[in-house]
Amino acid sequence: MRLEGWHLIIIIVLALMLFAAPKLPGMARSLGQSMRIFKSEVREMKKDGGSETKDDSEAVEGKVVNHPRSTGTESRPSEGTDVPPPSRA
């Protein structure tokens, strides 16, 4: 007889019931507390993220710097453009 996935799940559940039964209520309680904390943190992050305005960001001016090892006959962007150097694959 060959063991399949659901057979293993049943064996694991039975082992937990036999050997870890006294600890299961405490584990379930701590899991519930962790889920509550996680949900409240996610809710708080969403609330904080929604109140920010997008006018706070300032534009930063810069220029493209070619990688020092990228030498050869590759086409190079002119200085000050926002084109990345060609990738080497």
Assigned domain for 29 exists: yes
Q: For residue 16, give both structure tokens.
A: 């937990």
Mark residue 88 as left, alpha or beta (left: phi above 0; alpha: psi -120 to 50; beta: remaining).
beta
Which residues form the domain of 27?
Answer: 23-48
Q: For residue 43, give both structure tokens.
A: 């809710």
Q: What is the pLDDT of residue 43?
A: 94
Q: What is the pLDDT of residue 75?
A: 54
Assigned domain for 36 exists: yes
Which residue from 57, 86, 55 is spatially nearest to 73, judged by alpha carbons?
Answer: 86
Assigned domain for 72 exists: no
Q: What is the pLDDT of residue 31?
A: 94
Per-residue pLDDT of 2-29, as tens digits, reads: 878 889 999 999 998 899 888 888 989 9
Q: In whole angstroms, give the CA distance from residue 66 to residue 85.
A: 7
Assigned domain for 31 exists: yes
Q: How many domains does the chain have?
A: 1
Asked whether the beta carbons of 49 and 41 are under 8 A apart, the reply is no
Per-residue pLDDT of 29-77, as tens digits, reads: 999 999 999 999 999 999 887 655 555 566 667 777 776 665 555 555 5
Q: What is the pTM of this model?
A: 0.40
Assigned domain for 15 exists: no
